[in-house]
Structure formats: structure tokens, C-alpha cells
């Protein structure tokens, strides 16, 4: 997964002509980068396209690039890699200006299968090289297949077909097994992180081993589009009060919280105004007390699926060739 919530996104807004020439990125955005453990840099804030339809994906990516985003996160399982590639190609930006990240789904795990999974994603994206390729989930019921998939990522990295490799939704035990059996430390672990579920143990383990935490659902979108015990983070009185103090939105406060704590954040929206709002977070700073107040909201309750529930029988699905 990689979303930050639609916040009521419907079918309105977000449409941007794909023929627009993208202006230069504001300096403050361009400078806000994170360095991965292999020296590759990526913009700290990117656009996620989880559950975006193909058409919405094209217009959302176009709107994001127009607003100054230079980092797009997609996945084979999202079914919208082709539209991400089309929007980037139509933007007029040089390929080197946009950091593209995608994920291999569990159905394509295994050494040869994962190598072919790269080929499928690269073809759909229209790219010869992918900036960051990660495994979408651990597969606890067949971890040997997970390890074989990661070894394929290592091969793609050594061949120069990807610039960095990583994982997503890996817990500490998964990371420990991976590190013990492979050669390249993942550059990124993309996990659910928002004020109501921070996964500090996983973040701390990653920090100790040079693995960047990348937050999907960084504004807690999963807490209000998915049924559960949570209420919306956007209406949390602590977050709302901090937002009012800075004349910012609750979403902007949560993104700033993630950035100031050193995470990569990939909020999802399909509305042009929300997309522009989400990147407008580099002109204010939260105090230590405000960061601590948001930290204290952690409930320890996961919004996404339990890692042990990920099996081929339950979540496996074929990834089309084209």
C-alpha cells in the first residue's frame, strides 16, 4: 500500500492537461531530499497512487508534477504503472528529474519471476531504469520465495537496471531474516506510519541498520476509508489545534511531523488542490512539544492487513504482462 487518504476525493478536480510544460521546482522543495544508504537521493515527499484509477492516476501525476513533486510511488499491484509513465513522459521533464518507485507483487516472487516482474513494470512505465524497486510485502508463509525475490533485486541493482532496492511492510523479524540471508541492506522499508500507528520498533530497527522508513498513509487515510476502530486523524483535536496554531491544515501538520522525524512520506490524493496543499509543508516547523503531542496519539492499532495474513492463497493475483 501507499496512500495518504483521499480526504473525500471524488470525481471532481485534479484534471490537468498532460501537455503542460512543468515549471522549475521551487528551491525549497528541490533541496528537501533524503540520502539512501547507497548514496542515491530522493525527494522526501512524493505522490502515492494507491487505489487511483488509471484515468485519475494520469491527471493526479500531471497535477503533482505541475505542483513541484519529483517523486512518484506506484506498484505493479495498483494496475496504474502505465498511466504513471504516460504522465511523466507527457510532462516535458527530463527523465532524471523524476524519481520513480514501484513494487513487485507477491505473485511475482521467486528469482526468475521477480526479474520478469521488473521487465513488466519497466515496460509499463516506459523506463529502462527504475529509481527504486521494492518488494511489496513479506510472504511469511514462503519466506524462501521472498528471499529469492530479493536476490533478484540485488541482481537488478548490480546490473544497473535499478538505482536502489528495498522492501515494504516488513516487520523486524522479516528484516532480521532478510539481512541474515542477503548481501544488500534494503535502502527503504515502506510501512504504515501515521499518528495513530507509528510502528516505532520497526522504525528504530531500520534506523539502526541504515534503512529509511517511508510512510504510506502518512496522513492516516487508512483510518477513515477502511472500517475499523479509528476515527479520522484529520479531526483529531490535538492535530487540529496544532494546525490552527500554524495556519495550516491537519494533513500538512501530519506530513510535516513525518518529514521532521526523518521519514519519506508519500501522501495520496487525486484532487489537484489537495495535491498542491500536501507539498506546501516546507515553510513552517513543528516544535518539540508539538511533535511529542502527535507521537502520544499512537494507539498501536494497525489499519492495514496483518503481515502474517499475507499469503498467495489470500492475496495472490496475476500481474498482467502489459
Question: What is the rounded distance in angstroms from the CA atom of residue 128 to the CA atom of residue 105?
Answer: 20
Cα separations in angstroms, 249 against 234, 235, 242, 289: 8, 10, 9, 18
Range 282-290 contact pairs with CB under 8 angstroms and sequence separation of 24 or more: 282/28, 282/29, 282/32, 283/28, 284/246, 284/248, 284/256, 285/256, 285/260, 286/242, 286/246, 286/253, 286/256, 286/257, 286/260, 290/242, 290/245
Closest CA to 319 of 127, 130, 124, 132: 124
CB distance 137 to 307 below 8 Å: yes
Burial class (CB within 10 angstroms; exposed 0-12, middle 13-18, buried 19+) of 283: exposed
| CA dist., res. 51 & res. 269, Å (int) | 10
All residues at 6 or more sequence positions from 315 whose CB lies less than 8 Å from its CB, including other chains: 106, 137, 305
Give the separation between CA 199 and CA 207, rounded to whole angstroms.
12
Specify the 3-state DSSP secondary structure of 29: helix
Opening angle at CA 36, ends 109 and 175, nearest 5? 45
> Of residues 69, 78, 109, 225, which has the active-site annotation?
78
31 — phi, psi (to 5°)? -80, -15
* 111 part of the active site: no
Phi-psi region of 132 (alpha: psi -120 to 50; beta: other; left: phi over 0): beta
Please give the Cα distance from 267 to 233 (Å, whole number): 14
Residues known to be catalytic: 78
Amino acid at each position: 500500500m501507499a496512500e495518504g487518504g483521499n480526504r473525500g476525493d471524488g470525481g471532481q478536480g485534479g484534471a490537468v492537461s498532460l501537455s503542460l510544460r512543468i515549471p522549475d521546482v521551487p528551491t525549497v522543495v528541490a533541496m528537501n531530499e533524503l540520502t539512501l544508504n547507497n548514496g542515491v537521493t530522493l525527494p522526501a515527499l512524493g505522490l502515492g497512487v494507491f487505489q487511483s484509477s488509471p484515468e485519475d492516476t494520469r491527471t493526479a501525476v500531471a497535477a503533482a508534477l505541475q505542483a513541484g513533486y519529483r517523486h512518484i510511488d506506484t506498484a505493479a499491484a495498483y494496475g496504474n504503472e502505465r498511466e504513471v509513465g504516460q504522465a511523466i513522459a507527457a510532462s516535458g521533464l527530463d527523465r532524471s528529474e523524476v524519481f520513480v518507485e514501484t513494487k513487485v507483487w507477491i505473485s511475482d516472487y521467486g528469482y526468475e519471476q521477480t526479474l520478469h516482474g521488473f521487465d513488466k513494470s519497466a515496460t509499463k512505465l516506459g523506463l529502462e531504469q527504475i529509481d527504486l524497486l521494492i518488494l511489496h510485502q513479506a510472504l511469511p508463509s514462503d519466506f524462501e520465495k521472498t528471499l529469492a525475490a530479493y536476490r533478484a533485486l540485488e541482481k537488478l541493482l548490480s546490473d544497473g537496471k535499478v538505482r536502489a532496492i528495498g522492501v515494504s511492510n516488513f516487520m523486524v523479524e522479516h528484516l532480521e531474516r532478510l539481512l541474515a540471508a542477503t548481501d544488500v541492506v534494503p535502502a527503504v522499508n515502506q510501512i504504515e506510519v501515521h499518528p495513530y500507528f507509528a510502528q516505532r520498533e520497526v522504525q528504530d530497527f531500520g534506523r539502526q541498520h541504515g534503512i529509511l522508513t517511508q510512510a504510506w498513509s502518512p496522513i492516516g487515510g487508512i483510518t477513515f476509508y477502511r472500517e475499523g476502530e479509528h476515527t479520522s486523524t484529520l479531526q483529531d483535536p490535538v492535530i487540529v489545534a496544532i494546525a490552527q496554531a500554524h495556519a495550516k491544515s491537519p494533513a500538512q501538520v501530519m506530513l510535516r511531523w513525518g518529514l521532521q522525524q526523518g521519514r519519506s512520506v508519500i501522501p495520496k490524493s487525486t484532487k489537484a488542490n489537495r495535491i498542491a496543499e500536501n507539498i506546501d509543508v516546507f515553510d513552517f516547523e513543528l516544535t518539540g512539544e508539538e511533535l511529542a503531542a502527535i507521537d502520544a496519539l499512537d494507539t498501536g492499532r494497525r489499519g492495514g492487513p496483518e503481515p502474517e495474513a499475507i499469503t498467495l492463497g489470500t492475496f495472490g493475483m496475476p500481474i498482467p504482462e502489459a
